[in-house]
Structure 1
Protein backbone atom coordinates (compact mmCIF):
# COMPACT_ATOMS: atom_id res chain seq x y z
CA UNK A 1 0.00 0.00 0.00
CA UNK A 2 1.26 3.46 -0.88
CA UNK A 3 1.43 6.13 1.80
CA UNK A 4 -0.94 8.23 -0.29
CA UNK A 5 -3.64 5.58 0.14
CA UNK A 6 -3.23 4.99 3.87
CA UNK A 7 -6.14 7.24 4.83
CA UNK A 8 -8.48 6.02 2.10
CA UNK A 9 -11.71 4.35 3.25
CA UNK A 10 -12.84 3.43 -0.24
CA UNK A 11 -14.92 0.26 -0.32
CA UNK A 12 -15.57 0.27 3.43
CA UNK A 13 -18.91 0.45 5.18
CA UNK A 14 -18.96 2.76 8.19
CA UNK A 15 -21.73 3.02 10.78
CA UNK A 16 -22.00 6.20 12.84
CA UNK A 17 -24.28 6.06 15.88
CA UNK A 18 -25.28 9.57 16.92
CA UNK A 19 -25.54 11.74 13.81
CA UNK A 20 -25.90 15.20 15.38
CA UNK A 21 -23.18 17.67 16.32
CA UNK A 22 -19.80 15.97 16.13
CA UNK A 23 -21.48 12.91 14.61
CA UNK A 24 -22.67 14.87 11.59
CA UNK A 25 -19.11 15.98 10.86
CA UNK A 26 -17.88 12.42 11.30
CA UNK A 27 -20.42 11.19 8.75
CA UNK A 28 -19.26 13.82 6.25
CA UNK A 29 -15.59 13.15 6.96
CA UNK A 30 -15.83 9.39 6.52
CA UNK A 31 -17.77 9.87 3.28
CA UNK A 32 -15.15 12.33 2.05
CA UNK A 33 -12.52 9.61 2.44
CA UNK A 34 -14.54 7.14 0.39
CA UNK A 35 -16.58 5.22 2.95
CA UNK A 36 -20.22 4.27 2.49
CA UNK A 37 -21.85 5.59 5.64
CA UNK A 38 -24.94 4.46 7.53
CA UNK A 39 -26.11 7.16 9.95
CA UNK A 40 -27.98 5.91 13.03
CA UNK A 41 -29.78 8.25 15.39
CA UNK A 42 -32.77 8.26 17.73
CA UNK A 43 -34.20 11.02 15.54
CA UNK A 44 -34.56 10.18 11.86
CA UNK A 45 -34.48 13.87 10.79
CA UNK A 46 -31.06 14.17 12.43
CA UNK A 47 -29.76 11.03 10.76
CA UNK A 48 -31.30 12.10 7.44
CA UNK A 49 -29.67 15.50 7.62
CA UNK A 50 -26.20 14.04 8.14
CA UNK A 51 -26.73 11.47 5.40
CA UNK A 52 -28.08 13.97 2.87
CA UNK A 53 -25.11 16.23 3.48
CA UNK A 54 -22.70 13.34 2.93
CA UNK A 55 -24.50 12.38 -0.27
CA UNK A 56 -24.54 15.97 -1.54
CA UNK A 57 -20.88 16.61 -0.84
CA UNK A 58 -19.42 13.22 -1.67
CA UNK A 59 -20.20 10.29 -3.93
CA UNK A 60 -21.57 7.09 -2.44
CA UNK A 61 -24.76 5.39 -1.36
CA UNK A 62 -25.31 6.58 2.19
CA UNK A 63 -28.33 5.70 4.33
CA UNK A 64 -30.08 6.92 7.48
CA UNK A 65 -31.86 4.87 10.14
CA UNK A 66 -33.89 5.83 13.18
CA UNK A 67 -32.79 3.66 16.10
CA UNK A 68 -32.60 3.94 19.87
CA UNK A 69 -29.22 2.67 21.00
CA UNK A 70 -30.85 1.54 24.23
CA UNK A 71 -33.12 -0.85 22.32
CA UNK A 72 -30.69 -3.74 22.22
CA UNK A 73 -32.90 -6.08 20.19
CA UNK A 74 -33.66 -3.47 17.52
CA UNK A 75 -30.01 -2.44 17.27
CA UNK A 76 -28.86 -6.04 16.86
CA UNK A 77 -31.54 -6.64 14.22
CA UNK A 78 -30.46 -3.57 12.27
CA UNK A 79 -26.80 -4.60 12.52
CA UNK A 80 -27.69 -7.91 10.90
CA UNK A 81 -29.64 -6.14 8.13
CA UNK A 82 -26.80 -3.74 7.33
CA UNK A 83 -24.41 -6.52 6.41
CA UNK A 84 -20.61 -6.30 6.69
CA UNK A 85 -19.35 -3.24 8.56
CA UNK A 86 -15.68 -2.27 8.64
CA UNK A 87 -15.94 0.88 10.79
CA UNK A 88 -18.14 1.62 13.80
CA UNK A 89 -18.19 5.07 15.41
CA UNK A 90 -20.24 5.72 18.56
CA UNK A 91 -20.80 9.36 19.52
CA UNK A 92 -24.15 9.13 21.36
CA UNK A 93 -23.94 10.52 24.91
CA UNK A 94 -25.58 12.90 27.35
CA UNK A 95 -24.74 14.84 30.52
CA UNK A 96 -26.63 16.26 33.48
CA UNK A 97 -24.45 18.91 35.08
CA UNK A 98 -25.10 18.64 38.80
CA UNK A 99 -23.03 18.08 41.89
CA UNK A 100 -23.08 14.43 42.90
CA UNK A 101 -25.06 14.89 46.09
CA UNK A 102 -27.78 16.72 44.15
CA UNK A 103 -28.22 13.98 41.56
CA UNK A 104 -31.47 12.09 41.51
CA UNK A 105 -31.58 8.36 40.86
CA UNK A 106 -33.48 9.03 37.64
CA UNK A 107 -30.81 11.43 36.37
CA UNK A 108 -28.08 8.96 37.25
CA UNK A 109 -29.85 6.20 35.35
CA UNK A 110 -30.34 8.39 32.27
CA UNK A 111 -26.66 9.32 32.01
CA UNK A 112 -25.31 5.86 32.78
CA UNK A 113 -27.81 4.13 30.50
CA UNK A 114 -27.04 6.15 27.39
CA UNK A 115 -23.31 6.67 27.85
CA UNK A 116 -22.28 3.28 29.19
CA UNK A 117 -25.03 0.77 28.45
CA UNK A 118 -25.70 2.31 25.03
CA UNK A 119 -22.06 1.94 24.06
CA UNK A 120 -22.14 -1.63 25.38
CA UNK A 121 -25.14 -2.40 23.17
CA UNK A 122 -23.36 -0.97 20.11
CA UNK A 123 -20.25 -3.06 20.74
CA UNK A 124 -22.33 -6.21 21.16
CA UNK A 125 -24.37 -5.50 18.03
CA UNK A 126 -21.50 -4.85 15.63
CA UNK A 127 -18.46 -6.48 17.26
CA UNK A 128 -19.34 -10.11 16.44
CA UNK A 129 -19.66 -9.40 12.72
CA UNK A 130 -16.28 -7.71 12.64
CA UNK A 131 -14.69 -10.57 14.57
CA UNK A 132 -16.17 -13.09 12.15
CA UNK A 133 -14.93 -11.25 9.06
CA UNK A 134 -11.50 -10.81 10.65
CA UNK A 135 -11.22 -7.05 10.30
CA UNK A 136 -12.71 -3.80 11.56
CA UNK A 137 -12.17 -0.63 13.52
CA UNK A 138 -14.36 0.37 16.45
CA UNK A 139 -14.15 3.97 17.67
CA UNK A 140 -16.15 5.41 20.55
CA UNK A 141 -16.07 8.94 21.87
CA UNK A 142 -14.94 9.34 25.45
CA UNK A 143 -14.03 12.78 26.82
CA UNK A 144 -11.31 14.71 28.55
CA UNK A 145 -13.56 14.04 31.57
CA UNK A 146 -12.34 10.46 31.45
CA UNK A 147 -9.03 11.96 32.56
CA UNK A 148 -9.84 15.10 34.53
CA UNK A 149 -12.95 16.17 36.42
CA UNK A 150 -14.64 19.28 37.75
CA UNK A 151 -17.64 19.90 40.04
CA UNK A 152 -20.86 18.85 38.37
CA UNK A 153 -19.29 16.30 36.02
CA UNK A 154 -18.97 13.29 38.30
CA UNK A 155 -21.46 10.86 36.77
CA UNK A 156 -20.58 11.84 33.21
CA UNK A 157 -16.87 11.46 33.97
CA UNK A 158 -17.46 8.04 35.50
CA UNK A 159 -19.30 6.84 32.40
CA UNK A 160 -16.62 8.10 30.05
CA UNK A 161 -13.85 6.49 32.07
CA UNK A 162 -15.93 3.32 32.03
CA UNK A 163 -16.28 3.49 28.26
CA UNK A 164 -12.50 3.70 27.90
CA UNK A 165 -11.92 0.64 30.08
CA UNK A 166 -14.61 -1.28 28.21
CA UNK A 167 -12.96 -0.42 24.89
CA UNK A 168 -9.55 -1.47 26.17
CA UNK A 169 -10.97 -4.80 27.25
CA UNK A 170 -12.62 -5.34 23.88
CA UNK A 171 -9.36 -4.42 22.15
CA UNK A 172 -7.67 -7.25 24.07
CA UNK A 173 -10.49 -9.68 23.33
CA UNK A 174 -10.89 -8.92 19.61
CA UNK A 175 -7.25 -8.26 18.75
CA UNK A 176 -6.64 -11.88 17.71
CA UNK A 177 -9.57 -11.49 15.28
CA UNK A 178 -8.01 -8.49 13.56
CA UNK A 179 -10.42 -5.94 15.06
CA UNK A 180 -9.03 -2.71 16.50
CA UNK A 181 -10.83 -0.77 19.25
CA UNK A 182 -9.99 2.80 20.27
CA UNK A 183 -11.41 5.94 21.87
CA UNK A 184 -11.35 9.59 20.86
CA UNK A 185 -11.37 12.01 23.79
CA UNK A 186 -12.48 15.50 22.76
CA UNK A 187 -11.95 18.61 24.80
CA UNK A 188 -14.59 21.33 24.82
CA UNK A 189 -16.37 21.46 21.45
CA UNK A 190 -18.82 23.97 20.01
CA UNK A 191 -22.00 21.90 19.66
CA UNK A 192 -25.66 22.43 20.56
CA UNK A 193 -25.05 20.41 23.73
CA UNK A 194 -22.53 22.97 24.99
CA UNK A 195 -24.60 26.04 24.11
CA UNK A 196 -25.58 26.54 27.77
CA UNK A 197 -21.93 26.89 28.73
CA UNK A 198 -20.98 29.10 25.80
CA UNK A 199 -23.90 31.42 26.57
CA UNK A 200 -22.33 32.23 29.93
CA UNK A 201 -19.51 34.68 29.19
CA UNK A 202 -17.43 33.79 32.24
CA UNK A 203 -17.88 30.04 31.78
CA UNK A 204 -17.19 30.28 28.05
CA UNK A 205 -13.97 32.22 28.60
CA UNK A 206 -12.78 29.93 31.37
CA UNK A 207 -13.10 26.87 29.15
CA UNK A 208 -11.53 28.58 26.15
CA UNK A 209 -8.54 29.82 28.12
CA UNK A 210 -7.82 26.45 29.72
CA UNK A 211 -6.43 24.87 26.57
CA UNK A 212 -3.01 25.60 25.12
CA UNK A 213 -4.69 26.96 22.00
CA UNK A 214 -6.92 29.32 23.97
CA UNK A 215 -10.19 28.45 22.27
CA UNK A 216 -12.98 25.90 21.89
CA UNK A 217 -12.75 23.15 19.29
CA UNK A 218 -14.95 23.11 16.22
CA UNK A 219 -16.83 19.83 15.57
CA UNK A 220 -14.96 19.21 12.32
CA UNK A 221 -11.68 19.18 14.25
CA UNK A 222 -12.64 15.77 15.66
CA UNK A 223 -12.89 14.19 12.22
CA UNK A 224 -9.18 13.72 11.57
CA UNK A 225 -8.78 11.53 14.64
CA UNK A 226 -11.69 9.33 13.57
CA UNK A 227 -10.46 8.96 9.99
CA UNK A 228 -6.99 8.09 11.25
CA UNK A 229 -8.30 5.37 13.59
CA UNK A 230 -10.67 4.03 10.92
CA UNK A 231 -8.03 3.82 8.22
CA UNK A 232 -4.93 1.76 7.45
CA UNK A 233 -2.83 4.62 8.79
CA UNK A 234 -3.43 3.15 12.27
CA UNK A 235 -3.23 -0.60 11.68
CA UNK A 236 -1.06 -1.10 14.78
CA UNK A 237 -3.11 1.17 17.05
CA UNK A 238 -5.60 -0.49 19.39
CA UNK A 239 -6.60 -0.12 23.02
CA UNK A 240 -5.70 3.57 22.82
CA UNK A 241 -7.37 6.84 23.68
CA UNK A 242 -6.54 9.65 21.26
CA UNK A 243 -6.93 12.94 23.12
CA UNK A 244 -8.06 15.87 20.96
CA UNK A 245 -8.33 18.60 23.59
CA UNK A 246 -6.15 21.46 22.38
CA UNK A 247 -3.64 20.70 25.13
CA UNK A 248 -6.15 20.98 28.00
CA UNK A 249 -4.93 17.91 29.89
CA UNK A 250 -1.27 18.81 29.33
CA UNK A 251 -1.43 22.09 31.22
CA UNK A 252 -1.28 22.62 34.98
CA UNK A 253 -3.50 25.68 35.22
CA UNK A 254 -3.31 28.81 33.09
CA UNK A 255 -1.19 31.11 35.22
CA UNK A 256 1.95 32.24 33.43
CA UNK A 257 4.59 33.01 36.06
CA UNK A 258 6.92 36.02 35.66
CA UNK A 259 10.32 35.19 34.23
CA UNK A 260 13.60 36.99 34.78
Structure 2
Protein backbone atom coordinates (compact mmCIF):
# COMPACT_ATOMS: atom_id res chain seq x y z
CA UNK A 1 0.00 0.00 0.00
CA UNK A 2 1.39 3.37 -0.97
CA UNK A 3 1.09 6.53 1.13
CA UNK A 4 -1.71 8.92 0.18
CA UNK A 5 -0.68 11.42 -2.47
CA UNK A 6 -1.32 14.34 -0.13
CA UNK A 7 1.11 13.12 2.56
CA UNK A 8 3.74 15.86 2.93
CA UNK A 9 7.46 15.12 3.08
CA UNK A 10 8.43 15.11 6.76
CA UNK A 11 11.84 16.60 6.03
CA UNK A 12 10.10 19.57 4.44
CA UNK A 13 7.90 19.99 7.49
CA UNK A 14 10.90 19.91 9.82
CA UNK A 15 12.65 22.67 7.87
CA UNK A 16 12.45 26.20 9.27
CA UNK A 17 13.56 27.86 6.04
CA UNK A 18 11.79 31.17 5.55
CA UNK A 19 10.68 31.41 9.18
CA UNK A 20 11.67 34.10 11.67
CA UNK A 21 12.29 33.12 15.29
CA UNK A 22 12.68 35.41 18.31
CA UNK A 23 14.61 33.75 21.13
CA UNK A 24 14.55 35.43 24.53
CA UNK A 25 17.54 34.59 26.70
CA UNK A 26 19.76 33.82 23.73
CA UNK A 27 23.01 35.01 25.31
CA UNK A 28 23.80 31.77 27.09
CA UNK A 29 22.70 28.33 28.24
CA UNK A 30 19.52 26.81 26.87
CA UNK A 31 18.54 30.04 25.15
CA UNK A 32 21.78 30.11 23.20
CA UNK A 33 21.45 26.43 22.30
CA UNK A 34 17.85 27.02 21.16
CA UNK A 35 18.87 29.96 18.98
CA UNK A 36 21.69 28.03 17.34
CA UNK A 37 19.50 24.98 16.79
CA UNK A 38 16.72 27.00 15.15
CA UNK A 39 19.24 28.71 12.87
CA UNK A 40 20.75 25.34 11.93
CA UNK A 41 17.25 24.33 10.77
CA UNK A 42 17.06 27.37 8.52
CA UNK A 43 15.28 30.00 10.61
CA UNK A 44 16.32 33.62 10.73
CA UNK A 45 16.93 34.12 14.45
CA UNK A 46 16.60 37.29 16.50
CA UNK A 47 18.78 36.79 19.57
CA UNK A 48 17.37 38.85 22.45
CA UNK A 49 18.74 39.08 25.96
CA UNK A 50 19.25 41.53 28.80
CA UNK A 51 22.93 40.82 28.13
CA UNK A 52 23.13 42.51 24.73
CA UNK A 53 26.82 41.64 24.29
CA UNK A 54 26.08 37.96 24.93
CA UNK A 55 23.19 38.04 22.46
CA UNK A 56 25.49 39.58 19.87
CA UNK A 57 28.07 36.85 20.48
CA UNK A 58 25.41 34.18 19.89
CA UNK A 59 24.38 35.87 16.65
CA UNK A 60 28.03 35.83 15.57
CA UNK A 61 28.26 32.10 16.34
CA UNK A 62 25.20 31.51 14.17
CA UNK A 63 26.66 33.58 11.35
CA UNK A 64 29.88 31.59 11.61
CA UNK A 65 27.85 28.40 11.08
CA UNK A 66 26.28 29.85 7.93
CA UNK A 67 23.02 30.94 9.57
CA UNK A 68 21.10 34.21 9.70
CA UNK A 69 20.88 36.12 12.98
CA UNK A 70 20.60 39.57 14.47
CA UNK A 71 20.70 40.58 18.12
CA UNK A 72 19.44 43.18 20.55
CA UNK A 73 19.13 43.88 24.24
CA UNK A 74 15.74 43.28 25.81
CA UNK A 75 14.41 43.09 29.37
CA UNK A 76 11.59 40.61 29.89
CA UNK A 77 10.71 42.27 33.20
CA UNK A 78 9.60 45.34 31.22
CA UNK A 79 6.15 45.38 29.63
CA UNK A 80 7.30 48.23 27.37
CA UNK A 81 10.22 46.11 26.13
CA UNK A 82 7.98 43.10 25.48
CA UNK A 83 5.48 45.18 23.53
CA UNK A 84 8.21 46.96 21.55
CA UNK A 85 9.88 43.67 20.64
CA UNK A 86 6.60 42.18 19.45
CA UNK A 87 5.93 45.29 17.39
CA UNK A 88 9.42 45.33 15.88
CA UNK A 89 9.16 41.65 14.92
CA UNK A 90 5.44 41.53 14.25
CA UNK A 91 6.02 38.98 11.49
CA UNK A 92 7.81 36.47 13.71
CA UNK A 93 6.69 32.88 13.22
CA UNK A 94 8.32 31.52 16.37
CA UNK A 95 8.78 32.83 19.91
CA UNK A 96 10.98 30.98 22.40
CA UNK A 97 11.09 32.26 26.00
CA UNK A 98 13.94 30.62 27.94
CA UNK A 99 15.14 32.78 30.86
CA UNK A 100 15.07 31.35 34.35
CA UNK A 101 16.09 32.55 37.79
CA UNK A 102 16.17 30.50 41.00
CA UNK A 103 16.68 31.15 44.69
CA UNK A 104 17.40 27.82 46.36
CA UNK A 105 16.26 28.31 49.93
CA UNK A 106 13.81 26.58 52.20
CA UNK A 107 10.47 28.32 51.98
CA UNK A 108 10.52 29.57 55.60
CA UNK A 109 13.82 31.33 54.91
CA UNK A 110 12.77 33.16 51.75
CA UNK A 111 11.87 36.83 51.58
CA UNK A 112 9.19 38.81 49.78
CA UNK A 113 11.89 40.38 47.61
CA UNK A 114 13.17 36.96 46.52
CA UNK A 115 9.65 35.78 45.79
CA UNK A 116 8.94 38.86 43.66
CA UNK A 117 12.20 38.47 41.71
CA UNK A 118 11.70 34.79 40.91
CA UNK A 119 8.08 35.32 39.89
CA UNK A 120 8.82 38.42 37.82
CA UNK A 121 11.50 36.73 35.71
CA UNK A 122 10.11 33.21 35.39
CA UNK A 123 6.36 33.73 35.35
CA UNK A 124 5.43 37.34 34.71
CA UNK A 125 8.21 37.83 32.17
CA UNK A 126 6.96 34.83 30.21
CA UNK A 127 3.40 36.13 30.53
CA UNK A 128 4.36 39.53 29.11
CA UNK A 129 5.99 38.03 26.04
CA UNK A 130 3.25 35.45 25.44
CA UNK A 131 0.67 38.22 25.57
CA UNK A 132 2.55 40.63 23.29
CA UNK A 133 3.57 38.09 20.63
CA UNK A 134 0.38 36.07 20.98
CA UNK A 135 -1.67 39.06 19.88
CA UNK A 136 0.44 39.58 16.77
CA UNK A 137 0.47 35.91 15.84
CA UNK A 138 -3.28 35.57 16.32
CA UNK A 139 -3.84 38.54 14.02
CA UNK A 140 -1.77 36.86 11.29
CA UNK A 141 -3.29 33.43 11.90
CA UNK A 142 -0.06 31.52 12.47
CA UNK A 143 2.78 31.03 14.91
CA UNK A 144 4.47 28.78 17.45
CA UNK A 145 5.15 29.94 21.00
CA UNK A 146 7.51 27.82 23.08
CA UNK A 147 7.84 28.56 26.77
CA UNK A 148 10.43 27.13 29.13
CA UNK A 149 9.14 25.73 32.39
CA UNK A 150 11.07 23.03 34.26
CA UNK A 151 10.69 19.49 35.51
CA UNK A 152 10.37 21.29 38.86
CA UNK A 153 6.86 22.21 37.71
CA UNK A 154 6.07 18.53 38.38
CA UNK A 155 8.53 17.28 41.00
CA UNK A 156 10.20 19.25 43.78
CA UNK A 157 12.76 19.00 46.54
CA UNK A 158 13.55 21.21 49.56
CA UNK A 159 14.65 24.66 48.42
CA UNK A 160 12.68 24.79 45.17
CA UNK A 161 9.41 26.32 46.41
CA UNK A 162 9.21 29.67 44.60
CA UNK A 163 10.89 28.45 41.43
CA UNK A 164 8.67 25.38 41.24
CA UNK A 165 5.57 27.49 41.77
CA UNK A 166 6.64 29.92 39.05
CA UNK A 167 7.38 27.16 36.55
CA UNK A 168 4.09 25.42 37.32
CA UNK A 169 2.48 28.75 36.55
CA UNK A 170 4.26 28.86 33.20
CA UNK A 171 2.78 25.46 32.37
CA UNK A 172 -0.73 26.66 33.16
CA UNK A 173 -0.28 29.88 31.18
CA UNK A 174 0.92 27.79 28.26
CA UNK A 175 -2.09 25.47 28.38
CA UNK A 176 -4.49 28.39 28.69
CA UNK A 177 -3.08 30.35 25.76
CA UNK A 178 -3.02 27.17 23.65
CA UNK A 179 -6.71 26.74 24.45
CA UNK A 180 -7.57 30.35 23.70
CA UNK A 181 -5.62 30.56 20.43
CA UNK A 182 -6.34 27.07 19.16
CA UNK A 183 -8.59 28.21 16.31
CA UNK A 184 -6.29 31.05 15.24
CA UNK A 185 -3.47 28.89 13.89
CA UNK A 186 -1.17 29.66 16.82
CA UNK A 187 0.32 26.75 18.79
CA UNK A 188 1.66 27.12 22.33
CA UNK A 189 3.79 24.48 24.07
CA UNK A 190 6.05 24.27 27.10
CA UNK A 191 9.42 22.56 27.39
CA UNK A 192 10.36 21.18 30.82
CA UNK A 193 14.14 20.74 31.00
CA UNK A 194 15.68 18.50 33.60
CA UNK A 195 19.27 18.69 34.83
CA UNK A 196 21.20 20.73 32.27
CA UNK A 197 24.69 22.01 32.96
CA UNK A 198 24.23 25.79 32.64
CA UNK A 199 24.90 28.91 34.69
CA UNK A 200 21.60 28.29 36.48
CA UNK A 201 23.05 25.12 38.01
CA UNK A 202 26.43 26.55 39.06
CA UNK A 203 25.46 26.33 42.73
CA UNK A 204 24.90 22.58 42.31
CA UNK A 205 28.11 22.09 40.33
CA UNK A 206 30.06 23.68 43.17
CA UNK A 207 28.78 21.01 45.56
CA UNK A 208 30.22 17.62 44.42
CA UNK A 209 27.77 15.58 46.52
CA UNK A 210 24.79 17.48 45.12
CA UNK A 211 26.11 17.31 41.56
CA UNK A 212 26.73 13.55 41.74
CA UNK A 213 23.32 12.91 43.30
CA UNK A 214 21.65 14.68 40.37
CA UNK A 215 23.89 12.85 37.90
CA UNK A 216 22.68 9.47 39.09
CA UNK A 217 18.99 10.34 39.53
CA UNK A 218 17.83 10.18 35.91
CA UNK A 219 17.40 7.07 33.82
CA UNK A 220 20.36 8.14 31.67
CA UNK A 221 22.47 8.79 34.77
CA UNK A 222 24.17 11.90 33.50
CA UNK A 223 23.74 15.63 33.21
CA UNK A 224 22.57 17.05 29.89
CA UNK A 225 24.56 19.43 27.70
CA UNK A 226 22.77 22.61 26.54
CA UNK A 227 22.69 21.53 22.88
CA UNK A 228 20.46 18.59 23.82
CA UNK A 229 17.50 20.95 24.23
CA UNK A 230 17.61 22.11 20.61
CA UNK A 231 15.86 19.12 19.05
CA UNK A 232 12.72 19.58 21.13
CA UNK A 233 12.65 23.31 20.39
CA UNK A 234 13.12 22.81 16.65
CA UNK A 235 10.38 20.18 16.49
CA UNK A 236 7.82 22.29 18.34
CA UNK A 237 8.72 25.30 16.20
CA UNK A 238 8.27 23.38 12.95
CA UNK A 239 5.25 22.42 10.88
CA UNK A 240 5.99 18.80 11.78
CA UNK A 241 4.33 19.67 15.11
CA UNK A 242 1.23 21.10 13.42
CA UNK A 243 -1.14 19.10 15.68
CA UNK A 244 0.86 19.64 18.87
CA UNK A 245 -0.35 22.39 21.19
CA UNK A 246 -0.93 22.82 24.90
CA UNK A 247 1.65 20.16 25.73
CA UNK A 248 4.44 19.91 28.28
CA UNK A 249 7.49 18.32 26.66
CA UNK A 250 9.85 16.88 29.26
CA UNK A 251 13.54 16.82 28.34
CA UNK A 252 14.76 15.33 31.59
CA UNK A 253 16.69 12.16 30.75
CA UNK A 254 13.90 10.07 32.24
CA UNK A 255 14.08 11.71 35.68
CA UNK A 256 10.32 11.89 36.22
CA UNK A 257 9.72 8.44 34.71
CA UNK A 258 12.39 6.71 36.77
CA UNK A 259 12.64 6.56 40.55
CA UNK A 260 16.41 6.71 40.75
CA UNK A 261 16.73 6.42 44.53
CA UNK A 262 17.20 2.64 44.54
CA UNK A 263 17.60 -0.14 42.03
CA UNK A 264 16.42 -3.49 43.46
CA UNK A 265 17.97 -6.78 42.41
CA UNK A 266 15.20 -8.36 40.41
TM-score by length of 1: 0.97
Is 2:35 the counterpart of 1:45? no
- Runs of 4+ aligned structure 1 residues displaced above 6 Å come to none
In the TM superposition, residue 175 of structure 1 has moved relative to its aligned partner by: 0.6
Is 2:106 the counterpart of 1:99? yes
In the TM superposition, residue 22 of structure 1 has moved relative to its aligned partner by: 0.8
In structure 1, C-alpha distance between the alignment counterparts of 2:136 and 2:20, rounded to whole Å: 12
Match of 1:124 in 2: 131
Written as runs of structure 1 = structure 2, the 5 A alignment for 1:7-86 is 7-19=14-26, 20-60=28-68, 62-86=69-93
Q: Deviations over 1:108-159 (max 9, x none)?
A: 1000111111001101111111101111000011101000000000100000
Match of 1:207 in 2: 214
Match 2:171 to one of 164, 170, 195: 164
Q: Secondary structure at the match of 1:148?
A: coil
TM-score by length of 2: 0.95
In structure 2, C-alpha distance between the alignment counterparts of 1:44 and 1:27, rounded to whole Å: 14
Aligned length: 258
Is 2:171 the counterpart of 1:191? no
Q: Secondary structure at the match of 1:37?
A: strand
Unaligned runs of 5+ in 1: none
In structure 2, C-alpha distance between the alignment counterparts of 1:58 and 1:24, rounded to whole Å: 16
Q: Secondary structure at the match of 1:246?
A: coil
In structure 2, C-alpha distance between the alignment counterparts of 1:144 and 1:125, rounded to whole Å: 26
In structure 1, C-alpha distance between the alignment counterparts of 2:242 and 2:53, rounded to whole Å: 34
In structure 2, C-alpha distance between the alignment counterparts of 1:166 and 1:75, rounded to whole Å: 17
In structure 2, C-alpha distance between the alignment counterparts of 1:176 and 1:217, rounded to whole Å: 36
Q: Once superposed, what is the RMSD of the aligned Cα atoms?
A: 0.9
Q: Secondary structure at the match of 1:14?
A: strand
Is the Cα–Cα contact under 8 Å of residues 218 and 260 in structure 2 kept in the other structure?
Answer: no
Match of 1:227 in 2: 234
Unaligned runs of 5+ in 2: 1-7
Match of 1:146 in 2: 153
Match 1:247 to one of 216, 236, 254: 254
Match of 2:118 in 1: 111
In structure 1, C-alpha distance between the alignment counterparts of 2:201 and 2:141, rounded to whole Å: 38
Is the Cα–Cα contact under 8 Å of residues 217 and 259 in structure 2 kept in the other structure?
Answer: no
In the TM superposition, residue 93 of structure 1 has moved relative to its aligned partner by: 1.4
In the TM superposition, residue 5 of structure 1 has moved relative to its aligned partner by: 1.2
